[in-house]
Amino acid sequence: MALSSDELNFLIFRYLQESGFSHSAFTFGCESAVSSLAISGPDVPPGALVSFLQKGLQYLELESNLNEAGTDVDGDFRLLTPHDLLYKDVPELKRVVLARRAEARANDAAAASEKRASEKAAAMAAASGPAAGGDNDAGRNGDDNDAAAGGSGEPMAVDASQLTELRGHQQEVFICAWNPNQSLLASGSGDATARIWDLDKVSPSEDGTEQGVVLRHLAPSRAGNVQPSAASNSGGEKAKDVTTLDWNPTGTLLATGSYDGVARIWSASGSLVGTLAKHQGPIFSLKWNKRGDALLSGSVDRTAIVWDAASCTVKQSFEFHSAPTLDVDWRDDTMFATCSTDKTIHVCRLGLNRPLRTFTGHKDEVNAIKWDPSGRLLASCSDDKTAKVWDTDAGELLHDMREHKKEIYTLKWAPVAPLLATASFDATVKLWDVETGRCVRTLNQHRDAVYSVAFSPDGKLIASGSSPEGMLNIWEAQSGKLIKQYKGGGGIFDVSWDREGRRVAACFGEPKNVVAVVDMDVRM
């Protein structure tokens, strides 16, 4: 597809007219004979030439950020300036992108090193004596000051008898989830595998690696739902990160979502049951409904899809967001919520072609959403540093929580009490009384961004994990006291409690790439 010279001449003529260059337009129109061209002037939108040029620059920008295979965008569009796009060809632009990306990584590494050094110096100063003055975020809540700071006494370190390291993943482990009825733990990794570990049977292999059952994720043919066997990794299929996973309510099936845009359903023994390949971009979230007959997935392609779990077919596709869908959560078997980088939250129901509710109070990307145990309240958190609680029946904002100093990555409800936990890049976990909207406690013993938080099944304990610090903290929910700590290798991306609250799992990144399982000894 290309513009003809006559069409280009007409666009130039129109540009001169629209810009007020009437004499130049008259002269150019006479020389190019635009009046004799078979072009319908009223059908050409205003500013068409500028629009075409801008789209051309965007295409150059996109082409310059493609990976070597030309199949995926692999760059930061802010690395190129308009001057670059005007004066450099694509090969030179690719070199510019690579060089500036390397420079950005080096600057980030230097900044992180400086931050760690500063934090270490502050920690040493604090250890040598009480600090005078300063902004003590933990002291905002009056009588909760001691609890916010972790309580009195030192937390117990995890000893070797309480720790099991599940080794076998070759890259970062992003997510983990316990089976609701068995001692099975599922994990998903950047090595394009998920694994199912039986904690009652797992034992080290001869080389010291605990393998588990390996679920290989290889990109299927979009022509059909054909999944290569676990051994067929020689046919050129491109493996993709496993980004999300969830057990069905009975624990008989595991659903996984991948960066290749495909959801898969596996048996508890690791056999592939079905492949769900309708998304056109990475899947960031998927959840089973309460009955276990439907699966909900949210993707970068801006859609959410509800799947029939038995037939692995699409029940309904929801295309309400204008940007990537980051999280999804069921309220019941037919109603659910979705959130997006477009700053909105939609509450939807199967069978309806428009949202029941749309909430637009956030000022930046909405990272996570969670229904409370009653199904009446919906909590959300955002890069705008706020968490919000919505009354979905009334369709109104109930609480606007604004005490975090940086982006809030995730949040979790307590199983019973009206308590909400939020985890933030400001290195804190905050606990909120949802009846009043007040922050009742700040858990601030982490040194880096907190990516994960989870209540134990009885709601008495809270686990949180940070990155790149790699610290797993266990807290008493009522007092805020820090009772146990474990520092592993690499940052923690996810934490999960088993069904009895006896064990907590944490997913680690580089360099160890392990899942650490801590046995919660009641002698604490």
What pairs with residue 410 in β-bridges? 423
Q: What is the per-residue pLDDT for 112?
A: 53
What value does the mean pLDDT of the chain take?
Answer: 83
Neighbouring C-alpha atoms within 13 Å toward the C-beta of 86: 5
Above pLDDT 70, what percent of the chain? 77
Tell me the pLDDT tens digit for each residue of 103-160: 666 565 555 555 555 544 454 444 444 333 333 343 333 334 334 444 446 778 888 8
Residues in the chain: 524
Q: What is the per-residue pLDDT for 69?
A: 55
- Predicted confidence band of residue 458 (pLDDT cuts 50, 70, 90): very high
- Predicted confidence band of residue 36 (pLDDT cuts 50, 70, 90): confident
Domains 5-96 and 145-519 fall in the same CATH topology:
no
Q: Distance between CA atoms of 374 and 252, rounded to whole angstroms?
A: 25
Record the pTM.
Answer: 0.70
Q: Distance between CA atoms of 279 and 260, rounded to whole angstroms?
A: 9
Question: With contact defined as beta carbons under 8 Å apart, do 332 and 346 qualify?
Answer: no
Query: What fold does the segment set 5-96 form as a domain?
Result: Mitochondrial Import Receptor Subunit Tom20; Chain A (1.20.960)
Q: 145-519 in CATH: which number?
A: 2.130.10.10
Q: What is the per-residue pLDDT for 219?
A: 60
Q: What is the per-residue pLDDT for 417?
A: 81
Question: With contact defined as beta carbons under 8 Å apart, do 260 and 238 qualify?
Answer: yes
Instruction: Give how far Cα 33 sits from Cα of 9, 11, 47, 49, 474, Å.
Output: 9, 13, 21, 18, 79
Most confident of 5-9, 118-122, 500-504: 500-504
Three-state secondary structure of 444-473: CCCCCEEEEEEECCCCCEEEEEEECCCEEE
Task: Fill in the amino acid letter for 379.
Answer: A
Query: Sign of dihedral through CA atoms 264, 170, 456, 182?
Result: positive
Query: Sign of dihedral through CA atoms 520, 446, 197, 282?
Result: positive
Please check the confidence at residue 253 and state whether its pLDDT lies above 50.
yes
Which letter, b or e, does each residue of 445-468 get, where b requires 16 or more Cβ atoms within 10 Å of its Cβ?
A: bbbbbbbbbbbbeebebbbbbbbe
Q: Domain segments of the chain: what residues?
A: 5-96, 145-519
- Predicted confidence band of residue 236 (pLDDT cuts 50, 70, 90): very low
Q: What is the per-residue pLDDT for 237?
A: 47
